[in-house]
Amino acid sequence: MISEGTSRQPDLRAVSDQLEAARSQIEERFVEGGKALMAAYDIVARLLAAIDGITGALDDHACDEAAARLTATLKGLSDLVETETAAGQRLASVLEDSEAITPRIRDMQRSLRYLNTCAMETRIAGAGVSEFAQFADDVDKYVGSAIEQIEIFADKVGQLSAQVAAACVGGKGTGIANQVTTVSSTLTEALEAVRNRRAGLRRLANGTADVAKSVQEKVGKVLSALQAGDVARQRIEHVQAGIAMLLDELAKCTSEQQAEALSQAGIRLLAAQTSALIKDFTEQTRVVVATIEGLAGEASRVLTLTGKAGCAGGGEMQTIEDGVGLTRGVVGDIERSGALAAAAYASTKQVATELLSNMGNIGNIRSVRDDIRCLAINAYLRSNRLGPKGRAVGVVAAEMNTYAARLGVAAEDILQRLSTMRETSAGIDAERESRRVDIVGEIDGAVATLREANVRTSLHLKEAEESGNAVADRIAHIARHIDFSKDLGEHLHACHRMFGSNDNLAPVENPGDHEAFSKRLFAVYTMAAERDIHQTILGGSMRAPPAAPATESEDLFDDVLF
């Protein structure tokens, strides 16, 4: 048995220890990088979820609901203007009729005063004739009752005129048409702003999502590329296994010459494997580092876009809500003005209804007219039978008949106007009720929908901005602080130097003398590159064992070059 110290070979156990230190650092470095990239991957996933939330917060349903409510508000305002205009025209018509009744009342009062005078003249002219005295008493009684009735009626007509006049003035004072024009313009702008906001958010979210998905995809590819660390670890372990096998085989050698030949062949092979893994590891980590540096640039772009998403439209959205809120206030003012007008309409209608539904006063006057005319005709006929004595009474009776007829004409005109007023006033409430829309309810509903969408959008925008910041910071940290090759290459080069050999890939002489070592080590390899180097130096027609992975180390980085 030949001891390992008799050969001029390097301290292989020291080389193995140095390789172990390098393997441990590689494993630690790549595990750290993998964890950091996995965290970045998760952050990008949250960012994409937030972006989906942004586009979903102010979705078609919310926007359409707000638009429908705002449109209903506009229609309600338009209908309100028409309703109030129609009501104002009706009230003006009622006022015109009520004012036209007043002079007719004065005509009736004059006629009644004259009839009262006629009754007194009849009593004087028919002095001594009992039937004329009775006639004068009857006329006096009917005329007195009529005077009382017309006074009551005049008071009610005065109340009606005052109420209708107040309602007309109140309606004109609201300026509803001008206010509605302003409100309609504000609502239309708000609706357009909502639609523009939705379109802008979609465009920005789509752009951000495209970049974020690209970052996510590339992070995934870099994660795959981090298998370079595992590949290097395996190849170091294979070199370590080779050292152990070489020491084992050297211990079995029976001569110094055999040991020297095996030592030189084994060290040349292990040095070549170490040199190849250093070269591959350097190239592979260079690609990983370059990819992460490029990824940092894209992550910064994500940050820029999410920052825009957080700022874009925020003030505009608040302006929309403020504008709609202001509109709601204007509508509230209109509603309150309408309520005051409605109260005036109701009060007017109450007075008008009371007057129109109780036509006894003016109806009694019409009866007085008929009674007085009958009395006057009878008195005239009797006065003719009395000859010259009754001639004076006949003249008075004829005058009474004429004025009673005038009284009837005025009464009929008043009754006709009252009938028209009743029909007109009855249509006021019917017109308002048939076209009533809950304007404040609709505008409040639109504000609530927009406010809810704005809250959801703001939350998702905040999440997107925070995730954008986080992913940019995380990837920038990886690019600055996690260097996958720093110091590791020097460790590996130190290991290579310890072999004390150059990169000599020339076949060894008499490779068959090292068959036992060669077969044992060849069975360990998992990489095609390792087998190629082995066969170049030690020769042989050995094949990879069936369990060897089919994926080659160089193939791991095909997807990284993007």
Residue 556: predicted pLDDT: 43
User: CA 8, 13, 17, 19 torsion: positive or negative?
Assistant: positive
Task: Give a yes or no: residue 284 inside a domain.
Answer: no
CB-CB contact of 524 with 189 (8 Å): no
- DSSP assigned state of 194: H
At 77, the amino acid letter reads: L
Give dist(CA 506, CA 533) in Å, integer. 10
Task: Give a yes or no: residue 437 inside a domain.
Answer: yes
Look up residue 397 and give its two tokens: 């009776």
CB-CB contact of 266 with 242 (8 Å): yes
Contacts of residue 47, Cβ cutoff 8 Å, sequence gap at least 6? 208, 212, 302, 306, 463, 464, 467, 468, 471
Q: Give the pLDDT confidence of 383-409 residue by residue, as tens digits.
A: 787 777 677 878 888 888 888 888 888
Structural domain range at position 393? 63-193+318-459
Give dist(CA 526, CA 553) in Å, integer. 9
One DSSP character per residue, 493-536 reads HHHHHHTT-----SPPS-GGGGHHHHHHHHTT--SHHHHHHHHH
Distances (CA, A) of 294 to 39, 132, 405, 514: 18, 128, 110, 48
Task: Give a yes or no: residue 49 inside a domain.
Answer: no
Residue 2: predicted pLDDT: 45
Task: Give a yes or no: residue 393 inside a domain.
Answer: yes
Stretches where the chain sits below pLDDT 50 are: 1-7, 547-562
Residue 315: predicted pLDDT: 59
CB-CB contact of 396 with 378 (8 Å): no
Our count of domains for the chain comes to 1
Q: Give the pLDDT confidence of 284-323 residue by residue, as tens digits.
A: 888 887 777 777 777 777 767 666 655 555 555 666 667 6
Give dist(CA 227, CA 351) in Å, integer. 95
Task: Give a yes or no: residue 367 inside a domain.
Answer: yes
Task: Give a yes or no: residue 111 inside a domain.
Answer: yes
Look up residue 242 and give its two tokens: 């080779």
Task: Give a yes or no: residue 68 inside a domain.
Answer: yes
Give dist(CA 316, CA 39) in Å, integer. 35
Task: Give a yes or no: residue 303 inside a domain.
Answer: no
Contacts of residue 488, Cβ cutoff 8 Å, sequence gap at least 6? 22, 25, 26, 29, 281, 285
Q: Give the pLDDT confidence of 338-357 residue by residue, as tens digits.
A: 666 666 566 666 666 666 56
At 51, the amino acid letter reads: I
Query: Which candidate, 271, 288, 273, places its Cα nearest to that of 229?
Result: 288
Look up residue 41 and give its two tokens: 């991957």
Distances (CA, A) of 295 to 38, 136, 222, 341, 383: 14, 120, 9, 69, 128
